[in-house]
Chain A
Amino acid sequence: MLYSQILKIFWRVFLIILAIAFMVFAFPYIKDVLIMFIIAWLLSVLLNPLVNFLEHKGLGRGWAILIVMVLIFIIVGFSFSLLIPRIIRSAGSIISKLQSDVITDFSLMIENFFEKNFNNAELGRNVTAKLNEIGIKLLESLGEFFKSVGSLLASIIIIPFITFFLIKDARRFKRAIISQVPNRYFELSLNILHKVENQVGKYIQGQATDALIIGILSILGLFIINLAFHGPVPYFVLIGMFAGLANLIPYLGPVFGAVPALIIAILNNPPNLGLVLLWIVIVFILVQAIDNAFVSPMVVSKSVNMHPLTVVVVVIIGGNIAGAMGMLFAVPFTGILKVASSQVIWGIKNYELRHPSRVGENLSKKNK
């Protein structure tokens, strides 16, 4: 009895190690597919409420998914054919601008500033070099990110395809997975799975809504500045989108969001530069105020509040692992982990796992 149990445990551990080894070995080959799956999963999490809503309104689930998928195709097709080439082009021209002579003027300005105020030109040089480096890295990795997801054309077709089946068959996949769980852990696993799914879904939906609103508000603000000052901030759509994404990082995000707008305005060097810069700062502060006062409290779940120190540490680690993209998605990723682990801990605390088959044991004793 004991021997067979030990053998059983040995086989389980062996299989798990084998699976991990296989994944490590296969990772380079499946990386692209994995990224596509993650994007499709995120899309399915974001679109599922829409499908459920249409179903709630009386549509069949098949029709609901079909309508939402057509919407995705339009949006994805539109963004891939129009937006992304433009983003890559403007990212390219921003990079070349950063590397051109204008940047030296800007660097000199900062160096002078540091020399005047701190009597330390070296520090100024370091700061500009670092700024330059970060800016270029950020934009390059943005371009690379879009290129690396297989070939673009393949992604356009494959991602919606995966998304479709993730939405359509999510329940069946879940049932198939849960059907493999031993009876003893069945309710626990099912309950945790539901709670994690629910909380993580809410978290992702909240973050996405927040990023979208901040992006739109930033674009709007910069657009108004452009109207008022005869276009001192070109690429404002790209900058606004970036600000929305950067908002995924609490505390640091708003600063990351405003810096590109400020740099581009300085590079563009309009006649009343000081006033323009002031207005850009005001716009971003205003957007932040609106976010903190109205948007965030409504859409972002409170359970994922992170200490500023955690945010900084996580952002640095994310940056080390996957560059600028890592920095951007480090906090949401940690948020997902935090939400999920809190649910797992809840389950372990509330289900009686310490005496796994107490009742059954007593009964079998009695039957004997």
Chain B
Amino acid sequence: MENPIWGNGLFKKKNKEDDIFTTLKKVPIFSDLTPKELTEVEKIVHRRRYKKNETIIRAGDPGLGMYIIVKGSVEIVEEDEKAGKRTLAKLSDGSFFGDMALLDEDPRSASAIALVDSDILGFFRPDFLDLIYRKPKLGIKILLALARVIGERLRHTNELLAKIQEKKD
């Protein structure tokens, strides 16, 4: 990211070929966006670098937004005082997690830890809400895609639940 204090903000060239842009394009909730709309999203994401074993989100903290892995690997873990640590998923380039936090501030249900040095994008609720107000058309597109992702997950959960019930019967 260009330094806004010393960089020339008025006449800068846009380099659309960089990896942030291509990573965002791959994420399902941004897949419907035009290149111009993607640039708007690009303006409000935060780029972070995490070292191996560094915690990205901690279970119990207030949810603030979602993370997208540009490069690296992240483990989603659930910690229970009795059962200990349980790995829920291992994610790699282009995957995202924490997307429910775009909707509300409920505490994080699991922790996310970098398995290797990782390059990660953060997309956060306050910026998202601001974007929805400023660019309603773009906001609706992202919201619909987000609803689709969460709906799909719900359908999947329902199927699993049905299977378990069948087994019980």
Q: Do B5 and A176 have beta carbons less than 8 Å apart?
A: yes
Judged by a CB distance under 8 angstroms, whether B148 is at the interface is no
Q: Do A190 and B4 have beta carbons less than 8 Å apart?
A: no
Q: Do A360 and B1 have beta carbons less than 8 Å apart?
A: no
Q: Do A179 and B53 have beta carbons less than 8 Å apart?
A: no
A203 CB to nearest chain B CB (Å): 17
Q: A interface, by DSSP: helix, strand, loop or mixed?
A: helix
Q: B interface, by DSSP: helix, strand, loop or mixed?
A: mixed
Complex: chain A residue closest to B55, CB-CB: A360
Residues A51-66 near B (CB distance < 8 A): 52, 55-56, 61
A168 CB to nearest chain B CB (Å): 8
Which residues of B lie under 8 Å from residue A56 when comparing CB positions?
133-136
Residues of B within 8 A of A (CB): 1, 3-5, 9, 43-44, 46-48, 50, 53-62, 64, 75, 77, 79, 85, 111, 113, 122, 124, 126-127, 130, 133-136
Q: Do A52 and B134 have beta carbons less than 8 Å apart?
A: yes
A183-B48, A183-B54 given; A359·B113 CB < 8 A? yes
Q: Do B56 and A183 have beta carbons less than 8 Å apart?
A: yes
- Which of A8-16, A89-97, A99-107, A350-358 makes up part of the contact surface? A350-358
Sorted nearest first, the 4 A-B pairs with minimum C-beta distance are: A172-B4, A194-B126, A360-B55, A359-B111
Residues of A within 8 A of B (CB): 52, 55-56, 61, 165, 168-169, 171-173, 175-176, 178-179, 183-184, 186-188, 190-191, 194, 198, 350-352, 357-360, 362-364, 366-367
A183-B50, A190-B124 given; A55·B134 CB < 8 A? yes
Offer 9 A-B interface pairs, CB within 8 angstroms, sorted by A.
A56-B135, A172-B9, A176-B1, A179-B1, A179-B48, A194-B124, A357-B54, A362-B85, A363-B77
Which residues of A lie under 8 Å from residue B79 when comparing CB positions?
359, 362
Which residues of B lie under 8 Å from residue A190 when comparing CB positions?
46, 64, 124
Complex Cα gap A55–B54 (Å) = 39
Candidates A61, A179, A352, A358; contact of B46 at CB < 8 Å? A179
Q: Do B55 and A359 have beta carbons less than 8 Å apart?
A: yes
